Amino acid sequence: MHLEIYFYIAASILFILGIKGLARVKTARRGNGIASLGMLVAILGVLIEAKLLNWPLLLTGLVVGTAIGVLLAKRVAMTAMPELVAAFNGLGGGASALVAIAVLFGIPAEMSLSDYGAMQAISLPAGILIGTATLTGSAVAYMKLGGKNVAHPVKGPTRNLVHAAIVLAIIGCSAWMAMSSGSASAIIAMLLVLALSAVAGVFLVTPIGGADMPVVVALLNSLSGIAASASGFVVSNQLLIVAGALVGASGLILTQIMCKAMNRSLGNVLIGGVGDDNVAEDARDYTNIKSTSGEEVAMLLDGATSCIIVPGYGLAVAQAQHTCAELAKELQKRDVQVRYAIHPVAGRMPGHMNVLLAEADVPYEELWEMDKINPDFQNTDVVIIVGANDVVNPLAREPQGSPISGMPILDVDYAQTVVMIKRSLSPGYAGIKNPLFENDNTLMLFADAKEALQSIVDEVKDL
Amino acid sequence: MDPATLLFIFVLAAFVGFEIITKVPPTLHTPLMSGSNAISGIAIVGAVLALQSSFPTIAQILGFVAVVFATVNVVGGFLVTDRMLAMFGSKKKKG
């Protein structure tokens, strides 16, 4: 009797219900709980299926993994959430790759991988490739999210050639690995596939600009699921295939939502058109810049009845979410209507701003989606932009000629007055000029987001 | 198991994955991502299978590392998602 299969069916159902729950505000927390219950059931299932386990290794692994996981989950600051998600993605991918490699070592010396059939011969290298690329790609994403600049070593048109060569080499080495009987040559081939996959993961993520990070994080999430599926084919385990496919598909949808929010195709993001270390020549040529002070902004707000705050990555970097919420509270005390306009790709991961502002206890009904708040800008007195740039750049409205043409933006320039909190006139990740800065109704407040907001809060309190 | 059957399961599961989350409110983008990411820690099942005594020592060592990776992914992923969602929930919800 294969009792484990019933556990796997139950786990699959729990995962589906869990993900479904996570997609709705009211049921999200319960959904997460249901999914974690599914994982528990899955582990019980595999303990039934496995024969003669190496218990000391298993228990040590579980204890060590749990300790690290708990520590990371409890300690991480909400501002570091994108890095943590990237790290977890990488570990999931890495685990799948390791499973595939372990299975290869389990093949008797006189047999080749292809003796087990085409499915094994394809899925095992695929598991190593996708899993390893997810791991190294996530590592690069982690560094980029942490603010480190990781440049692609190959520049210009040769880059695509190099990428194509790597892909061909991976296919060649995979075929060699599948065909070779006698463990030594299979292992050499496997190590080559492993090394090339690691490089592929790095090269996949390096050309991608900082503004495109939400897409990458979502894509890596999807890949970590597909890697799990591949390793499911390797060990012939239905649950691994189902759970991996669920995550792969849902991650892909999120990737698509992110691409749509930038009016770009996934291919375009991966090739790295925007933000790939090219800054337009006129990106810093500004005339007619009016700079302002916290005091002036406070006076402006004193006469206002409505205010919209537009948070961006600069808010996260400066960890200014609490100061931002404090300002909103002060204004609300003075009967100013305050709302937040959230661009879908603001920040460095999908939903980044929502998480930050939730940490600062901002009620989520004050957070407005782009499509819903855009018609309201024209009736708004003051817009305060905190560390956002490309998502409010009116150049996006030009049908052609700009790297961000066609990207949906927040229509901040239709408001009475726009206050732009920014450290300097430097361009955003798209590397282009932002004509918003020169508008007659735009005031620039040059400062770190937190200091600027604090100065406005202090002045507002003194009114 | 028959490869075609496994492929069949994979395709159906992928379609389920596409269907269950067509519309996600932006507030939930991050929790959905980190929660589903924790599910990809399902690789732990494969890792446990590599710890069976039928596998050579080197495979078991790899399996051990995979168990650690996957467990961090699973435990950390679900916990941090819960932490985030608890923050969302602490607000007074109107309607």
Please report the ipTM that was assigned to this predicted complex: 0.94
Q: What is the pTM of this model?
A: 0.88
pLDDT tens profile A263-313: 778 877 777 544 445 566 677 778 888 889 999 999 999 989 999 999 998
Q: Name the domain boundary from A256, A271, A286.
A: A271
- A328 contacts on B by Cβ (under 8 Å): none
Q: Are residues A328 and A347 in the same domain?
A: yes
CA distance B68 to B73: 9
Q: Which of A270-279, A420-429, A447-456 has the lowest mean pLDDT?
A: A270-279
Nearest-Cα distance to chain A for B90, in Å, is 8
Q: What's the Cα-to-Cα distance from A183 to each of A132, A187, A353, B60, B62, rounded to whole Å?
A: 21, 6, 51, 17, 17
How confident is residue A329, by pLDDT bands cut at 50, 70 and 90? very high
Q: List CB contacts of A243: < 8 A, sequence separation 6 or more.
A: A11, A12, A15, A42, A225, A228, A229, A232, B13, B39, B40, B42
pLDDT digits (tens, 9 = 90+) for A381-423: 999 999 888 889 998 888 777 777 888 899 999 999 999 999 8
Collect all residues with Cβ–Cβ distance below 8 Å to A322 and sequence separation of at least 6: A360
Residue A281 lies in a domain: no
Residues A69 and A91 in one domain: no
Q: Which residues of B touch A102 (CB under 8 A)?
A: 47, 50, 55, 59-60, 62-63, 66
User: Shortest Cα distance from A109 to chain B (angstroms)?
Assistant: 12
The alpha carbon of residue A57 is apart from the nearest alpha carbon of chain B, in Å, by: 6
**Domain match, A265 and A305 both:** no
Exposure string of A145-179, with b = 16+ CB inside 10 Å and e = fewer, is: beeeebebeeeeeebeeebeeeeebbeebbebbbe
> Which residue numbers of A are catalytic?
390
Q: Range of A177's domain?
A: 81-271
State whether A31 and B35 contact (CB < 8 Å): yes
Residue A310 lies in a domain: yes
Both structure tokens of A79: 């501002």
Residues 8-67 of A with CB under 8 A from B: 12, 15-16, 18-20, 22-25, 28-29, 31-33, 35-36, 38-39, 42-43, 45-47, 49-54, 57-58, 60-62, 64-66
Is A278 inside a domain boundary? no
Domain boundary among A32, A48, A75: A75
Q: Which of A40, A75, A85, A91 to mutate: most B Cβ within 10 Å?
A: A91
Whether residue A303 sits in one domain with residue A241: no
A201-226, pLDDT tens digit by residue?
999 888 877 677 888 889 999 999 99
Highest mean pLDDT among A104-108, A135-139, A150-154, A289-293: A135-139
* A279 within 8 A of A403, measured Cβ to Cβ: no
Residue B92 C-beta-side C-alpha neighbours within 13 Å:
1
Residue with tokens 């190294």: A136
Kindly identify which residue of chain A lies nearest to residue B82, measuring between CA atoms.
A29
Residue A378 resides in a domain: yes
Q: Is residue A284 part of a domain?
A: no
Q: Say if residue A314 is in the same domain as residue A359.
A: yes
Would you say A19 and A250 are in contact if contact means Cβ atoms under 8 Å apart?
A: yes
Please tell me which of the candidates A29, A65, A101 has its beta carbon nearest to residue B68.
A65
CATH number at residue A360: 3.40.50.1220
CA distances (Å), A404 to each of A415, A442, B26, in order? 22, 21, 21
Domain shared by A320 and A234, yes or no: no
Overall domain count for chain A = 3
Least confident of A36-50, A198-212, A310-324, B70-84: A198-212
Q: Is residue A5 in a domain?
A: yes
Say yes or no for a CB contact (<8 Å) between A54 and B44.
no
Three-class SS state of A222: helix
Same domain, A149 and A15: no
Residue A418 has phi, psi (to 5 degrees) of -115, 125
- Span B6-16, pLDDT tens digits: 999 999 999 99
Q: Is A442 helix (H, G, I), strand (E, B) or coil?
A: strand
More confident residue, A390 or B95: A390
Q: Is A240 on the interface with B (CB under 8 A)?
A: yes
Quote the tokens at residue A338.
Answer: 């305050």
Q: Counting every residue, how long is chain B?
A: 95
Percent of chain A with pLDDT over 70: 96
Confidence band of A21 (pLDDT split at 50, 70, 90): very high
Nearest-CA distance B87 → chain A (Å): 6
Neighbours of A302 (CB within 10 A): 13
Phi/psi for A28 (5° steps) reads -60, -45
pLDDT at A279: 64
Q: Is A118 at the interface with chain B, CB within 8 A?
A: yes
A234 and A88 both lie in a single domain: yes
Residues of chain B positioned with their CB less than 8 A from the CB of A363: 91-92
A73–B83: do the CB atoms touch at under 8 Å? yes
* Alpha-carbon gap, residue A117 to B53, rounded angstroms: 24
Among candidate residues A75, A92, A107, the one where a domain is terminated: A75
A149 plus A101 within the same structural domain: yes
- Cα nearest neighbour of A121 on chain B: B3
pLDDT over threshold 90, residue A365: no
* For residue A156, pLDDT beyond 90: no
Mark whether A28 and A95 lie in a shared domain.
no
- DSSP readout, chain B? --HHHHHHHHHHHHHHHHHHTS---GGGHHHHHHHHHHHGGGHHHHHHHTTBTTS-HHHHHHHHHHHHHHHIIIIIHHHHHHHHHHHHHTSPPP-
Mark whether A415 and A391 lie in a shared domain.
yes
Is the same domain home to A70 and A85?
no
